[in-house]
Amino acid sequence: MAEKKLVEAITARDEDFAQWYTDVVKKAELADYSSVKGCMIMRPGGYAIWENIMHELDRRFKETGVENVAMPLFIPESLLQKEKDHVEGFAPEVAWVTKGGNEELEEKLCVRPTSETLFCDLYSRIIQSHRDLPKLYNQWCSVVRWEKTTRPFLRTTEFWWQEGHTAHATEEEAEQRTIQMLNIYADFCRDVLAIPVVKGKKTDKEKFAGANSTYTIESLMHDGKALQSGTSHNFGDGFARAFGIQYSDKENQLRYVHQTSWGMSTRIIGAIIMVHGDDSGLVLPPRIAPTQVMVIPIAQHKEGVLEKADELRAGLAAAGIRVKLDGSDKSPGWKFSEQEMRGIPLRVEIGPRDIEQGKCIIVRRDTREKREADIDGVEKTIALMLDEMQADMLARAEQYLAGHVSTAASYEEFKDAVANKPGFIKAMWCGDLECEMKIKEDTTATSRCMPFEQEQISPVCVCCGRPAKKLVYWGKAY
């Protein structure tokens, strides 16, 4: 009975997707609610996934010359006010510190919602010559945005992320870096998280406050909603002019730098849950899974079983596989349910009969496929199965994405697609903000991006019928 109850504790995805998501976050022990409203506690299960994300992204950033720094948590009000569009964009979400101990502060301090102004302040002091460029800095930190509605990982008042901030001599270099970082995010999602994405540019309405242009990767969740999964912004020289960040070029002329900013946050863990999870809980792609294999001894009270299971675990660990042994006194059925709930890619079952035959049973988390394997050389078998599972998970996610993109040439088709076809809707747009606002008002769908790969579905805007300028991916979003 106990084994059944563990899985029953999860609401079915198709019954109530939002509740299913919350159940998985809690039961898989990824995060918990804290005593601070809107803030979450990342538990070891969730933080271990974030650590793997950090290590892999950090390695990719550093390969392109990026260096890590740490900036202050607080921003003086006067510093935040320097870039008008930027401060207006963040004003509703800012948390302020007005007292230090018992004394009122002379100047309010903002708890960083993002750190552009801090980096600009630093760059204005350390960049003098073209020899000081480019500056390629990144920081791993948490930021605070006062959110009205929150959900673990997807939207919390405090969340963890990386924010890259770079300064360049020319507009071309800045644009090149903006696209380069977007591609790093897209490749990481595809190759490591098994999540395919749509790459493109945000409309002016959806771009980052203070940016010239914002580029995004958009992924599609199992319920057909989009999730903005990473963004890269080209600031041009707007921030440089506001903060006086100038350098002398090779001809000794004073020039303003061109800047970029790019970030990916813990909300990507929400994407992993919602793209790959099932009614039994989490399903983790092997490359990001903190534990790739769980060894579960069967009839472990019998002589030699635990020892052989631990020997198997040690062999896998020596082969570079992230492995654990569940030697607890819970029943095997309970252990299976727990391994499934936590999304561990493979489990290895080994009991007295298996040991006699020199065999073990390997079970895949995603398909539940069972495979008998020789204990001798099992490391190679498992490495191959992990690669197979990674590839299969990506293929399934790609198939799901491809099957959930509809096209609409008329407004009637568009409204029908929003109401009845979960996923992305490709439709033409005239470029007018009024049409973008009307679509959101009428359907709750928003522009997700103008994809790099443009096509023409129709010569006219889906909303107003005037000549179309861009193909846009639209959708309901988190």
Tens-place pLDDT, residues 192-241: 999 999 999 999 999 988 899 999 999 999 999 999 999 999 999 999 99
The HSE-up count of residue 268 (CA atoms within 13 Å, CB side) is: 32
- Per-residue burial over 242-271, b if 16 or more Cβ lie within 10 Å, else e, is bbebbbeeeeeeebbbbbbbbbbbbbbbbb
> What is residue 5's predicted lDDT score, i.e. its pLDDT?
47
Region 339-357: mean pLDDT is 96
Alpha-carbon span 12 to 10, nearest angstrom: 6
Contact 214, 116 (CB under 8 A): no
Higher pLDDT, residue 248 or 300? 248
pLDDT at 83 over 80: no
Q: Checking DSSP bridges between strand 135-144 and strand 67-68, what pairing results, if any?
A: parallel
Alpha-carbon span 45 to 338, nearest angstrom: 13
Q: What angle do helix axes 378-402 and 267-276 make, rounded to 10 degrees?
A: 90
Alpha-carbon span 334 to 412, nearest angstrom: 51
Alpha-carbon span 440 to 71, nearest angstrom: 37
Alpha-carbon span 323 to 329, nearest angstrom: 19
pLDDT category at 1 given cuts 50, 70, 90 is very low
User: How do residues 402-454 score in pLDDT, each as one tens digit?
Assistant: 999 999 999 999 999 999 999 999 999 999 999 999 999 999 999 999 999 99
pLDDT category at 4 given cuts 50, 70, 90 is very low
**Neighbouring C-beta atoms of residue 404, cutoff 10 Å:** 17
pLDDT category at 132 given cuts 50, 70, 90 is very high
> What is residue 432's predicted lDDT score, i.e. its pLDDT?
96
H/E stretch holding 402 reads: helix 378-402
Q: Which amino acid is at 107?
A: E
Question: Which of these, 433, 467, 423, 426, lies nearest to 450 by C-alpha position?
Answer: 426
Alpha-carbon span 256 to 259, nearest angstrom: 10
For the chain, list the domains and their CATH numbers.
Answer: 17-70+116-276 (3.30.930.10), 293-386 (3.40.50.800), 405-475 (3.30.110.30)
pLDDT at 267 over 90: yes
pLDDT category at 63 given cuts 50, 70, 90 is very high
> What is residue 8's predicted lDDT score, i.e. its pLDDT?
58
Region 349-368: mean pLDDT is 96
H/E stretch holding 197 reads: none
Higher pLDDT, residue 323 or 210? 323
pLDDT category at 264 given cuts 50, 70, 90 is very high
Percent of the chain having pLDDT more than 70?
A: 98
> What is residue 2's predicted lDDT score, i.e. its pLDDT?
40
